[in-house]
C-alpha cells in the first residue's frame, strides 16, 4: 500500500468512534495532536528492531493530547506506535514497566512489546517511541451504570496490583506543576478566576498534609482512555501521565469525568454509586481517604482546568491541534466547592 493510503486520514479510526465529534455536550479531551510525523519508510525501518513481522498498515490516531500515536499493523498483529513528546527517555521505564507489571498481574491493560535487545522503547525521528499491544474496542463516551461499575472495579484492581510495583515517579502534574501553570496562565484570566485558583491551591496544600495510601496510578482515566469491546471493558490505555500518587485521587479524577452531568458538572448519583460500589468491593477506602474525598474531587478538577487553560492559551505547534474549552472544569471545580460530594457512608 502506498503512503497516501496509510496517512490520508488523520481521524479517529477505531470502528464506531467518528461519533465522538458529534457529541459536543460531553466534554472530552482535545482532538489528537500529531506533533511528529512518521512515514511508512520510517516506521518500517524502526520496526526491524522487533520480531513482529512485516509492516502492512500505519494510520495516525485522532485521540489523546500529549503524544503522537499511530495504529501500526503487521501481517499477524496489531499495535499502537507511540512517540513520547514530553516524557524524557529516562522517565519512560517507569511508565512502560508499570504497564507491563499490570498486564502480568491480570489487569486489563495493553502489554508493551520488547524489541530484540529487551528494551521497551527506542528513538524514532528524534523521539522515544514504544510499540504497545492494540486492544479491541472503542471508548464509550456516554457510559451507563454497567460501564461505570466495570471501570470502578478494574481501577481498584489496578491499585491493588500497584502495591507490588516498586518503582516510583513523582507526578509531573502535581502541586509544583499546578503552581507554575497557574502563574503562566494568570495574564489570560480575570480577577475572579485567578482568585479561585489561588484559593484552591492554598486549600490543596493544607489538604496534602494528610497522608493517604499511595502507589503508581494512571492519573488520567477519562472515558476516552478506556476501551469497551461491546459492553465488556477491554482495558485502560494511555499511561503517559502515570505517576506515584494517591489512589483515591486517581479515582476522583475518573469520577469527575465518568459520573457527571455534562452541562452543569454536577455528579450523576446513579453512575457515581456504580463506580463507588464496584471500587469499594475490591479495595475499600480507608477512613482518611473517605474524609479527604471531597477535597480530592476538587484537586482533580483544578488539575485539568489548569492543563486546559495552558493548552488553550499557550499551545504547542502541531499538525492537528484542537484545544477543548477549559470552562468545563472551572464549572466542575466551583460545583465541588459549593456542593461537596461525600464518599457514600453506606459503603464504608
Which pLDDT band, with edges at 50, 70 and 90, does 145 fall under? very high
Do residues 341 and 294 lie in contact, with contact meaning Cβ atoms separated by under 8 Å? yes
Written as nine digits, the cell of 262 is 455534562
Is residue 28 predicted with pLDDT exceeding 70?
Answer: no
Non-local (6+) Cβ contacts of 15 within 8 A are 138
Which pLDDT band, with edges at 50, 70 and 90, does 67 fall under? confident
- The percent of residues above 70 in pLDDT, for the chain, comes to 88
3-state SS track over the chain: CCHHHHHCCCCCCCCCHHHHHHCCCCCCCCECCCCCCCCHHHHHHHHCCCCCCCEEEEEECCCCCCCEEEEEEECCCEEEEEECCCCCHHHHHHHHHHHHHHHHCCCCCCCECCCCCCCCEEEECCEEEEEEECCCCECCCCCCHHHHHHHHHHHHHHHHHHCCCCCCCCCCCCHHHHHHHHHHHHHHCCHHHHHHHHHHHHHHHHHCCCCCCEEEECCCCCHHHEEEECCEEEEECCCCCCEEEEHHHHHHHHHHHHCECCCCCCECHHHHHHHHHHHHHHCCCCHHHHHHHHHHHHHHHHHHHHHHHHHHHCCCCCCCCECCCCHHHHHHHHHHHHCCCCCCHHHC
Is residue 21 predicted with pLDDT exceeding 50?
Answer: no
Q: Output the CA–CA distances (angstroms, integers) from residue 179 to 87, 151, 174, 187, 212, in the order listed.
A: 20, 31, 9, 14, 21
Is residue 13 predicted with pLDDT exceeding 80?
Answer: no
Is residue 321 predicted with pLDDT exceeding 70?
Answer: no
**221-248 per-position pLDDT tens digit:** 999 999 999 999 999 999 989 999 999 9
C-alpha angle with apex 340: 335 to 341, nearest 5 degrees? 105
Mean pLDDT over the full length of the chain: 89
Give the distance, in angstroms, between the CA of residue 278 and the centroid of all CA atoms in the same chain.
20
**What is the mean predicted confidence (pLDDT) over 195-220?**
97
Is residue 9 predicted with pLDDT exceeding 50?
Answer: no
Specify the pLDDT at position 88. Answer: 87
Query: Can you give the pTM of this predicted structure?
Result: 0.87
Written as nine digits, the cell of 15 is 470502528
**What is the mean predicted confidence (pLDDT) over 154-180?**
97
Is residue 315 predicted with pLDDT exceeding 60?
Answer: yes
- The percent of residues above 90 in pLDDT, for the chain, comes to 81
Specify the pLDDT at position 86. Answer: 84
Specify the pLDDT at position 5. Answer: 35
C-alpha angle with apex 244: 252 to 114, nearest 5 degrees? 115
Going from the N-terminus, what domains does the chain have, and what CATH number goes with each? 3-133 (3.30.200.20), 145-347 (3.90.1200.10)
Is residue 32 predicted with pLDDT exceeding 70?
Answer: no
Is residue 119 predicted with pLDDT exceeding 90?
Answer: yes
Do residues 56 and 75 lie in contact, with contact meaning Cβ atoms separated by under 8 Å? yes
| Calpha distance 97→78 (Å, rounded) | 20
The residues pairing with 152 across neighbouring beta strands, listed in sequence order, are none
Amino acid at each position: 500500500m502506498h503512503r497516501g493510503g496509510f496517512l490520508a486520514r488523520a481521524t479517529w479510526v477505531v470502528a464506531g468512534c467518528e461519533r465522538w465529534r458529534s457529541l459536543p455536550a460531553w466534554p472530552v479531551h482535545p482532538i489528537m495532536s500529531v506533533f511528529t510525523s512518521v512515514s511508512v519508510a520510517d516506521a518500517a525501518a524502526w520496526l526491524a528492531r522487533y520480531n513482529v513481522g512485516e509492516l502492512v498498515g500505519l494510520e495516525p490516531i485522532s485521540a489523546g493530547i500529549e503524544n503522537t500515536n499511530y495504529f501500526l499493523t503487521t501481517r499477524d498483529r496489531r499495535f499502537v506506535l507511540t512517540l513520547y513528546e514530553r516524557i524524557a527517555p529516562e522517565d519512560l521505564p517507569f511508565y512502560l514497566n508499570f504497564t507491563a507489571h499490570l498486564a502480568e498481574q491480570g489487569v486489563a491493560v495493553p502489554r508493551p512489546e520488547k524489541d530484540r535487545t529487551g528494551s521497551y522503547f527506542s528513538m524514532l525521528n528524534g523521539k522515544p517511541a514504544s510499540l504497545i499491544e492494540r486492544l479491541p474496542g472503542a471508548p464509550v463516551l456516554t457510559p451507563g451504570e454497567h460501564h461505570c461499575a466495570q471501570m470502578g472495579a478494574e481501577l481498584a484492581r489496578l491499585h491493588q496490583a500497584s502495591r507490588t510495583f516498586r518503582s516510583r515517579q513523582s507526578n509531573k502534574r502535581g502541586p509544583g506543576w499546578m503552581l507554575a501553570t497557574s502563574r503562566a496562565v494568570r495574564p489570560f484570566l480575570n480577577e475572579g478566576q485567578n482568585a479561585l485558583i489561588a484559593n484552591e491551591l492554598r486549600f490543596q496544600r493544607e489538604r496534602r498534609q494528610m497522608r493517604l495510601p499511595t502507589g503508581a496510578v494512571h492519573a488520567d482515566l477519562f472515558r476516552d482512555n478506556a476501551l469497551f469491546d461491546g459492553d465488556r471493558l477491554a482495558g485502560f490505555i494511555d499511561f503517559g501521565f502515570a505517576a506515584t500518587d494517591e489512589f483515591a485521587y486517581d479515582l476522583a479524577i475518573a469520577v469527575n469525568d465518568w459520573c457527571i452531568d455534562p452541562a452543569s458538572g454536577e455528579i450523576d448519583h446513579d453512575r457515581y454509586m456504580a463506580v463507588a460500589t464496584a471500587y469499594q468491593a475490591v479495595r475499600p477506602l480507608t477512613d482518611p481517604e473517605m474524609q479527604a474525598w471531597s477535597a480530592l474531587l476538587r484537586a482533580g478538577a483544578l488539575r485539568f482546568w489548569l492543563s486546559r487553560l495552558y493548552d488553550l492559551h499557550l499551545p504547542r505547534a502541531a499538525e492537528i491541534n484542537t484545544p477543548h474549552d477549559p470552562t468545563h472544569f472551572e464549572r466542575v471545580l466551583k460545583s465541588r466547592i459549593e456542593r461537596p460530594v461525600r464518599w457514600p457512608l453506606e459503603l464504608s
